[in-house]
Chain A
Amino acid sequence: MKKTGKIWLFGLFSILLIFASACSKDTGSSEKPEKTDEGTKETVTLSIGSWRTEDTAGYAKVIEAFNKQYPDIKVEFKPSKNTEYNTILNTALQSGEGPDIFHLRPYAPGIALADAGYIEPLDGLEGLDAFPETALAASKGSDGKQYGVPLNMSTTQMFYNKKIFSDLGLEVPKTWDEFIALNEKIKKEGIIPIALGTKEGWLLSAAHGIIGPAHYGGNDFVEKITKGETDFKSAEFVNSIKAMDELKAYFPDNYEGLGMEDIRTLFFTGKAAMFPMGSWEIEVLRSMNPDLELGFFPMPSAVGKDATITAWVDGSFAVNANSKHKEEAKKFLQFLTTKEFGEPFTKEFKMISANPEVKSDDELVNSLSEAVSKISTPYMMVVYFAGGNPTSKATLELELQGMYLGQQTPEGVAGKVQENAETWYKPFQ
């Protein structure tokens, strides 16, 4: 009996020991920075939270450029996976923690964090005037204060495979009818006209962001609906949903089971001619197939208006209201407004800067950026209808999916979105 008793005692004791040593180790490590603080020069470490895991190497270069100006501010870029980013960030913020600087989702979701008081306002931050008002709107709080520095514009448009187009003797369409005729022609040649799947809802709202404006009539409609003068049940909007429905004739086989990876693969392997997708895919497509001859065209209007490119601000950087180093964090944000940041940024990430002064060295990105300044229409569901619970955007995605599965009509889709928007969207109330 004594023997076994000893074994238990020993076990418990050693566990206690391990525990104690671990705790003391932890406090030891947390003391360290304080000690270095007493040193000659104060170095501050800022952490950045983001959902862009793929940009880690790029940010290392950006941080290097920042350190040329501020050698005493150490910056760590700590991204987490896209799909779990909000869970992680929300938990930390609610607990009064979190990174000093974080990537803010654009429009309603980001603004909600600002309104809840988790973000430091950026009043009077130098360099903010470099951005157009539309870019700043992505992170402007309900109180009218600015809470974030916009980073990049994202666009969605129809990408196309130039080689397939020239092989088949096709031209970029100038009207909706030409677009449909083009699809027919490609289909007859045994090539998939449009690489799109309906398995993931976000693909559908993104595609509607491209195709929708051609039918509801671009900016005029957006202006009217945001004033409450028209709604989602209007013929214009219902037509945009019907157009989405018609296009399924040109989707790949089994499109209901295809997700992002599948349709991307269909496009870069040359099995599909067109790909309705966002500017962030340019780099991915090129790295997957360096020989791909990639082009884009603005969506031609079906109602006699200008062709459109869909654009919005995709992310901003904000300062945590609970950060211990707000001053230093603001210095970093200020750096983000400068050309010293903008140029390496567009170069590294092949993205369109939210600062119109900054040009890219990439031809495709530059021509997109030019199109944005001339013929852009906002991604309506993200910019104006990402609020509510569930959001109107999520409702559109869900119901479009139902439509493609034959369980919802275009009118039904529009009706559900309207019903949802009425629960929260002020102009509708």
Chain B
Amino acid sequence: MQTELNTETIKQMKQRKWKRWNIHLFPIPALVIYGLFIVYPLLAALSYSFFDWKGIKRGAFIGFDNYKDLFTLEPFSSMFWNAFWHNVLYFIVQMVVQNGLAFLLAFIIYQKIRGAEFFKIAYFLPRLLSVIVVGFLWKLIFNPNFGALNVLLGKFGLESLQEAWLGNTKTALMAIILVNCWFGLGFSVLIFLAGFQSIPRELIEAAKLDGANGFKMLTKILLPLMVPSIMIITVLTFIQSFEAFELVYAMQGSQGEPYRSTDTLAVYFYRLAFGGSSGDSTAIGLGSALAVVLFIFISTFTAILLKMMKKKEIEM
């Protein structure tokens, strides 16, 4: 047996030598497509932020003036911070409501309850709809006079809770974020469930033998093993909530109505880069600068998040 293994390893080493360069081909197709259709156009567009723009015509090179204006010139700077805090709220609410719930629901499904298939499909179904459809549908539901939500509240005798949900600065943003949670719940459930299910059964069995169950099982055994899927969801939610655009746009348009209470950074970017819906003036230079700032912010925080998670993963 010893000799057999030896000849085997020699053969292997020869093969590995070949494999060494062979495996470097693996990421090439993805790199090519990604590089050509994402990286190249974005790099080409980044230079926009260093130019003065007259409408959609590029003017003179002005260095970092657009960046300066973005943070010092009114109303641009207050619009920036206003939108920024909305994004922060977006992230927090999505983490707590959408992902917290999703973790719980995935855990419940993982307990092999009856109808697990049904529940999985039910949670995921909203995710199948186009964001335009979701926006439209909820706009109708939130309608203050004919919409289902207010009618439902009325049926339960809760007239005092009826609101002009999307027309009110106090409720509009929260309404949109909660719709986003409704929309994204199923995806988080699936990721968490896939996470639960890729935990080797042997580990769980072993822990059971050691007397772990219920809460202890969840926190001591499952949670650490769930770090990869929690990482995926956290990073994803972070990026998506700071890029939040489509749903806000579908429900409230590009002006962050009412009274800028639903403005997000990506909507603000869209407004600058493409103008308002009725052909209002564009500020492509400022818009590009905003996109760059947004990118730097998101990438820095994502890197920190990934580092933190990695540490956790190694610790366990």
Kindly state the separation between the CA atoms of A254 and B144 in the bound complex, as whole angstroms.
6
Asked whether any CB of chain A lies closer than 8 Å to the CB of B63, the reply is no
Kindly state the separation between the CA atoms of A163 and B255 in the bound complex, as whole angstroms.
37
Q: Which residues of B contact A110 (CB under 8 A)?
A: 279
Instruction: Tell whether, in the assembled complex, residue B255 and residue A201 are in contact, meaning their CB atoms are under 8 Å apart.
Output: yes
With both beta carbons as reference points, the residue of chain A lying nearest to B171 in the complex is identified as: A257
- B247–chain A nearest beta-carbon distance, Å: 15
Q: Which residues of B contact A63 (CB under 8 A)?
A: none
Asked whether any CB of chain A lies closer than 8 Å to the CB of B228, the reply is no
With both beta carbons as reference points, the residue of chain B lying nearest to A12 in the complex is identified as: B29
Instruction: Tell whether, in the assembled complex, residue A199 and residue B281 are in contact, meaning their CB atoms are under 8 Å apart.
Output: no
Kindly state the separation between the CA atoms of A280 and B227 in the bound complex, as whole angstroms.
57
Instruction: Tell whether, in the assembled complex, residue B255 and residue A258 are in contact, meaning their CB atoms are under 8 Å apart.
Output: no
Kindly state the separation between the CA atoms of A199 and B163 in the bound complex, as whole angstroms.
13
Partner of B259, one of A108, A112, A252, A401: A401
With both beta carbons as reference points, the residue of chain B lying nearest to A90 in the complex is identified as: B56
Instruction: Tell whether, in the assembled complex, residue A257 and residue B143 are in contact, meaning their CB atoms are under 8 Å apart.
Output: yes
Kindly state the separation between the CA atoms of A113 and B281 in the bound complex, as whole angstroms.
10
Instruction: Tell whether, in the assembled complex, residue B143 and residue A198 are in contact, meaning their CB atoms are under 8 Å apart.
Output: no
Kindly state the separation between the CA atoms of A199 and B169 in the bound complex, as whole angstroms.
10
Instruction: Tell whether, in the assembled complex, residue A390 and residue B280 are in contact, meaning their CB atoms are under 8 Å apart.
Output: yes
Partner of B274, one of A87, A252, A258, A394: A87
Main secondary structure of the interface of A (DSSP, over half): helix
Q: Which residues of B contact A211 (CB under 8 A)?
A: none
B56, B163, B259, B271 pick with most chain A CB within 10 angstroms: B259
Instruction: Tell whether, in the assembled complex, residue B166 and residue A407 are in contact, meaning their CB atoms are under 8 Å apart.
Output: no
Kindly state the separation between the CA atoms of A388 and B78 in the bound complex, as whole angstroms.
17
Kindly state the separation between the CA atoms of A27 and B146 in the bound complex, as whole angstroms.
53
CB neighbors of A among B135-155 (8 A):
142-146
Q: Which residues of A contact B259 (CB under 8 A)?
A: 398, 401-402, 405, 407-408
Kindly state the separation between the CA atoms of A386 and B280 in the bound complex, as whole angstroms.
7
Q: Which residues of B contact A193 (CB under 8 A)?
A: none
Instruction: Tell whether, in the assembled complex, residue A94 and residue B56 are in contact, meaning their CB atoms are under 8 Å apart.
Output: yes
- A269–chain B nearest beta-carbon distance, Å: 11
Instruction: Tell whether, in the assembled complex, residue A200 and residue B75 are in contact, meaning their CB atoms are under 8 Å apart.
Output: no
Give A93-113 as 1s and 0s: 1 = Cβ < 8 Å from B's Cβ atoms. Answer: 110000000000100111011
Instruction: Tell whether, in the assembled complex, residue A198 and residue B55 are in contact, meaning their CB atoms are under 8 Å apart.
Output: no
Main secondary structure of the interface of B (DSSP, over half): loop
Partner of A82, one of B57, B146, B163, B277: B277
Instruction: Tell whether, in the assembled complex, residue A257 and residue B164 are in contact, meaning their CB atoms are under 8 Å apart.
Output: yes
- A380–chain B nearest beta-carbon distance, Å: 16
Instruction: Tell whether, in the assembled complex, residue A93 and residue B56 are in contact, meaning their CB atoms are under 8 Å apart.
Output: yes
Q: Which residues of B contact A202 (CB under 8 A)?
A: 278
Partner of B257, one of A85, A262, A388, A401: A401
Given contacts A105-B279, A198-B258, contact A256 B164 (CB under 8 A): yes
Kindly state the separation between the CA atoms of A112 and B275 in the bound complex, as whole angstroms.
12
With both beta carbons as reference points, the residue of chain B lying nearest to A116 in the complex is identified as: B57
- B158–chain A nearest beta-carbon distance, Å: 16
With both beta carbons as reference points, the residue of chain B lying nearest to A94 in the complex is identified as: B56
Q: Which residues of A contact B144 (CB under 8 A)?
A: 253-254, 257-258
Asked whether any CB of chain A lies closer than 8 Å to the CB of B54, the reply is yes
Instruction: Tell whether, in the assembled complex, residue B56 and residue A389 are in contact, meaning their CB atoms are under 8 Å apart.
Output: no
- B78–chain A nearest beta-carbon distance, Å: 12
Q: Which residues of A contact B276 (CB under 8 A)?
A: 390-391, 394
Instruction: Tell whether, in the assembled complex, residue B167 and residue A116 are in contact, meaning their CB atoms are under 8 Å apart.
Output: no
Q: Which residues of B contact A200 (CB under 8 A)?
A: 253, 257
Asked whether any CB of chain A lies closer than 8 Å to the CB of B260, the reply is yes
Partner of A109, one of B142, B253, B260, B280: B280
With both beta carbons as reference points, the residue of chain B lying nearest to A111 in the complex is identified as: B55
Q: Which residues of B contact A388 (CB under 8 A)?
A: 281
Asked whether any CB of chain A lies closer than 8 Å to the CB of B130, the reply is no
Asked whether any CB of chain A lies closer than 8 Å to the CB of B168, the reply is yes
Q: Which residues of A contact B282 (CB under 8 A)?
A: 90, 389
A: which residues have CB within 8 A of B? 82-83, 85-87, 90, 93-94, 105, 108-110, 112-113, 115-118, 197-202, 252-258, 262, 386-391, 393-394, 397-398, 401-402, 405, 407-408, 420
**Can you add 15 more A-B contacts, CB < 8 Å, to A407-B169, A420-B75?**
A86-B274, A112-B56, A115-B55, A256-B167, A256-B168, A257-B167, A258-B164, A258-B167, A262-B145, A390-B271, A391-B280, A394-B280, A405-B258, A405-B259, A407-B259
17 contacts between A and B (CB under 8 A): A109-B275, A109-B281, A113-B55, A117-B57, A198-B167, A199-B258, A252-B145, A253-B144, A257-B142, A257-B143, A257-B165, A258-B144, A258-B145, A262-B145, A389-B281, A389-B282, A398-B259
B: which residues have CB within 8 A of A? 54-57, 75, 142-146, 163-169, 253-255, 257-260, 271, 274-283
